[in-house]
Structure 1
């Protein structure tokens, strides 16, 4: 509760720095633009019928390399509220957002997280790993920040926003419990998660997995032959049975790993495709934050020797695992 109060205060402080209430009590929903699907889903859940949310980056879109289009610029300039992630996730758009801050209601939601929760960025001394949504317990702490942002632009709607936020927090808490229970069934010697890029470090810290990404935190980094060779050695020596692709990253390097291991006489399969920087298809369960993480947890546990329900936490996954 103390942490939630702290985050609410941080959100309120951010609002005081520039966000302004929408004039009047317009009947139309608040026009919100969010960069990633994860933020858009959170804003939709908290805002409910009070908001109309547009996410800029759909399924399969890589936020590290995304650049705003002319349509995006128009949408963000006209929006009542713009929510972006921060922590250098939208690296190509940061300059634009800082300029936009002087003209409208703009907030980097993950920048409000306490620094002691964050992992340092190996490539930039003054920056952090942005992939905080991979752990529900951490992502839940962004909920009050968004709630405060919406309340600052929608005066008089605090009670409705609070009720929606509490319902979302309960769902995220259930997801966190499911993740911990299911991932604990993976044998300790099998807790090696090899993925297309290094998006799962928070996941590894939270659930006790060694995480090895072919590319670095940003997908802009290139995976050299030395890195592929090093990971092939790991696969062979530790008898890793499965590696994982990502929906927003090419599987070229993953297949190079599999071929390299095969040349050494070790068979490795693709354990499944994970959602890393983008969610699933719109209007699908995996196109929500809860569904995205449910999918990841269920796929990882099943592929690495653990026990997980075939259709996930609530039996809602689109395809059986």
Structure 2
């Protein structure tokens, strides 16, 4: 009887062992399959939130996308971490803005290019005749904030789609279909911004913000744009700059000025106080998005949502 019980116990242990073995082997096979699938996907690294959003729309789950900068991050002063460098070194493709927007990372992009990694500045999509001039003391000759003109972003969309299709011809049809669909959405967004902008009389279309990031917006949608700081947030606003702008606001009875999500509020608040000292009350019309979009998974965390949110905030604060 004891021998029978012992035999049954041994058989039971063997069955349990086999069951555990097959579970482990099954999990290992699943992990290996997952690793093979991951290895077959393009690894794309992006810098700004605008570029990350675009690549996600065009590539979806086909790509492994790592965006280096999040909501509220100022690309002008961003410094790459050790983890960022590792992601860049392991990337198949890198998309960055260019025109020195990510000024502290320029040498890093050049190094990645020398390593043979496909590294693209999205501003290469545009003819230089479409660029606005930068400041005399700004490192580079052109204003990098091209995304605030939706028609320029359409050209960038086509360019990024072409690079993805060139590198990954197996998914070329997917990329081209997504480009075509997104261009329709961008066209509608451009028209929406135009309609809302022109609902304001021309004399009220004056946008005063923390730094000079909205000149492309001004050109595309007929706004006069004034920034306290220059094109790069690395430049400092002086007392004379605030005084001059305060004089302009009080003289022209500008109703509202705006803070930016990626720039500290202090200069805008100092400007508000300077205007009040001149006997005119200017309100802070709200926070708008400039060099970074809103939080992920929010409407303002998409390019289309950011553009629509910004124009709604601006027009609602400036209208009578």
The normalised TM-score by structure 2 is 0.86
- The CA distance in 1 between the partners of 2:140 and 2:106, in whole Å, is 15
The reply on whether 1:40 has 2:52 as its aligned counterpart is yes
Aligned equivalent of 1:62 = 74
How do 1:149-228 and structure 2 match up within 5 A?
Answer: 149-228=163-242
The reply on whether 1:98 has 2:110 as its aligned counterpart is yes
Q: Report the count of equivalent residues.
A: 283
Give the one of 237, 245, 248 matched to 2:262. 248
How far 1:49 sits from its partner (Å)? 2.1
Q: 1:64 is paired with a residue of what secondary structure? A: helix
The reply on whether 1:116 has 2:146 as its aligned counterpart is no
Q: What are the ranges of 5 or more consecutive residues in structure 1 without an aligned counterpart?
A: 1-23, 307-321
How do 1:219-298 and structure 2 match up within 5 A?
Answer: 219-298=233-312
Q: 1:121 is paired with a residue of what secondary structure? A: coil
Quick check: 1:281–1:287 contact (8 Å CA) kept in 2? yes
- The CA distance in 2 between the partners of 1:25 and 1:61, in whole Å, is 32
* Structure 1 range deviating more: 97-106 or 212-221: 97-106
Q: 2:207 is paired with a residue of what secondary structure? A: strand
- The CA distance in 2 between the partners of 1:292 and 1:225, in whole Å, is 31
How far 1:250 sits from its partner (Å)? 0.5
Q: 1:244 is paired with a residue of what secondary structure? A: strand
How far 1:127 sits from its partner (Å)? 1.9
Q: 2:232 is paired with a residue of what secondary structure? A: coil
Quick check: 1:48–1:164 contact (8 Å CA) kept in 2? no
Q: What are the ranges of 5 or more consecutive residues in structure 2 without an aligned counterpart?
A: 1-35
- The CA distance in 2 between the partners of 1:100 and 1:160, in whole Å, is 27
The normalised TM-score by structure 1 is 0.85
* Structure 1 range deviating more: 126-135 or 197-206: 126-135
How far 1:187 sits from its partner (Å)? 1.5
Quick check: 1:44–1:52 contact (8 Å CA) kept in 2? no
Structure of greater relative contact order (alpha carbons < 8 Å, 6+ residues apart): 1
Q: 2:75 is paired with a residue of what secondary structure? A: coil
How far 1:25 sits from its partner (Å)? 8.7
Give the 3 Å change call, closer, same or farther, for CA 84–228 of structure 1 in structure 2: same
Quick check: 2:285–2:314 contact (8 Å CA) kept in 1? yes
Aligned equivalent of 1:75 = 87
- The CA distance in 1 between the partners of 2:160 and 2:37, in whole Å, is 20
- The CA distance in 2 between the partners of 1:240 and 1:209, in whole Å, is 13
Quick check: 2:100–2:139 contact (8 Å CA) kept in 1? no
How far 1:52 sits from its partner (Å)? 2.1
How far 1:125 sits from its partner (Å)? 8.3
Quick check: 2:212–2:227 contact (8 Å CA) kept in 1? yes
Quick check: 2:207–2:225 contact (8 Å CA) kept in 1? yes
Task: Please identify the structure whose Cα radius of gyration is greater.
Answer: 2
Give the 3 Å change call, closer, same or farther, for CA 265–26 of structure 1 in structure 2: closer
Quick check: 2:45–2:65 contact (8 Å CA) kept in 1? yes
- The CA distance in 1 between the partners of 2:287 and 2:77, in whole Å, is 20
Give the one of 145, 169, 173 matched to 2:159. 145
Runs of 4+ with >6 A deviation? 24-27
Quick check: 1:88–1:127 contact (8 Å CA) kept in 2? no
- The CA distance in 2 between the partners of 1:159 and 1:66, in whole Å, is 35
